[in-house]
Amino acid sequence: MAKKQRNMEIELLRFVFAVMVMLFHYQNIFEFGYFHNGAIGVEFFFLTSGLFMARSAEKCAGTTQLGETTLHFILGKVKAFYPYYLFVVVFQILVLHIGIMHYNFYALKDAVLSWLPQLFLTDSLGAWQSTDIDISGKWRWYLSAMVWGMVILFPILVRWNEFARKILFPLIALLGVGYLLRNYHGLKQNYKWDIICNLGLIRGMSEMAMGVVCYDLARKLKAVSGRLTKLGTASLFLVKTGCYLVVILYGAHLINIPAFFIALLLLALGLTISYSETGGTLPANRVCAFLGKLSLPIYMCHRVLETILTTILGVEGAKPYVPYLVIASLLFAVMMVYLVPFLCRLLKRISRWWIRPQQDAAA
């Protein structure tokens, strides 16, 4: 079976919303007046994670090896981002903690030991410890919520596919988001503990469940796309474009929306139409594919570079350099896209000094 082509529209949007999240974080630190609501970009990533999880689960529906299937799926997701995560952690230790702050061996040892639970991204489950030396940064909450949310949701989706898509997951999405908005007046308190997990896990699971609903609706829309008139197709294109435009302007703090839930629904509607490829989509091209690859490195590296800059200059001293910090984050992300896979290949070759390739071992 031919490998499904990536949706270039979604790849481009991944880049746009990764930049929006970066500018949101920089706004919180440097207060330049825009992107107060840029955290809406995180919602886009949870929605797309749920959407692609639904696609994978549909292929596995009916399997008798639920545990093995779930483990294979989760390990595939972790393998895609984990080398970048470790690279950023090592970079921060070498450049910031050793090169700039000159922490001694014992202080750094204690920090590394306290970080070990984060090696398994257990923040969302509460297995983390706050220390004076944070060697990876709290941005990792998103990775933790995504992974452990999928550990919970994916086997349910595989085992009870139709019931989960049509009844259970829409209910999880509405109850989860509604619970956070009603009790915490927003979705940003990701490390706040609530009953048995952090709020970030509730946020991630709720929005990934909503992404599953987007997938189901996109399939239905795709099924009727052949019967749409030119006016119908053009209308969907305008609706999709309008949804993204409103959400982006809202994230940039250029317009106001009465309720956050409206912005989330607009984002979900736009993603549904984009994935259905109804109303036109971007053709396959290397530019959008590459920009999509940049989204994860941008998310991972921008807080580390900001920490380095503010450690050297202080927040007030660093303010004039924010445009250069944005450019540096983008360039660093480009470097990561090429360097991290190279280092992985190098480590794989080195590992053969101890472990022979499978075909050689069989011989």
Whole-angstrom distance, CA of residue 82 vs CA of residue 85: 5
Classify the phi-psi angles of 91: left when phi > 0, otherwise alpha if psi is within -120 to 50, otherwise beta: alpha
Residue 138 lies in a domain: yes
Residue 25 lies in a domain: no
The pLDDT of residue 134 is 66
Residue 360 lies in a domain: no
Eight-state DSSP code of residue 198: E
Contact 150, 71 (CB under 8 A): no
pTM above threshold 0.85 = yes
Residue 43 lies in a domain: yes
3-state secondary structure of 292: helix
The pLDDT of residue 359 is 61
Q: What angle, rounded to 10 degrees, do the helices at 8-30 and 286-318 form? A: 0
Total domains in the chain come to 1
Whole-angstrom distance, CA of residue 46 vs CA of residue 210: 9
Q: pLDDT in tens for each of the 363 residues of the chain?
A: 344 578 999 999 999 999 999 999 999 999 888 999 999 999 999 999 999 999 999 888 878 889 999 999 999 999 999 999 999 988 988 888 888 877 777 777 777 777 777 788 887 887 665 555 666 667 888 999 999 999 999 999 999 989 999 999 999 999 999 999 888 888 888 778 887 788 889 999 999 999 999 999 999 999 988 888 889 899 999 999 999 999 999 999 999 988 889 999 999 999 999 999 887 788 888 999 999 999 999 999 999 999 999 999 999 999 999 999 999 999 999 999 999 999 999 988 887 787 776 665 444
- Determine how many CB atoms are found less than 10 A away from the CB of residue 146: 26
3-state secondary structure of 140: helix
The pLDDT of residue 362 is 46
Contacts for 308-312: CB closer than 8 Å, 24+ residues apart: 308/95, 308/96, 308/100, 310/29, 311/96, 311/100, 311/101, 312/100
Closest CA to 46 of 206, 184, 242: 206
Tokens describing residue 166: 């049509």
Closest CA to 50 of 184, 170, 199: 170
Residue 305 lies in a domain: no
Tokens describing residue 56: 């994978």
Residue 299 lies in a domain: no
Residue 7 lies in a domain: no
**164 contact partners, CB below 8 Å, separation of at least 6:** 156, 157, 212
The pLDDT of residue 2 is 40
Contact 299, 332 (CB under 8 A): no
Residue 182 belongs to domain spanning: 38-278
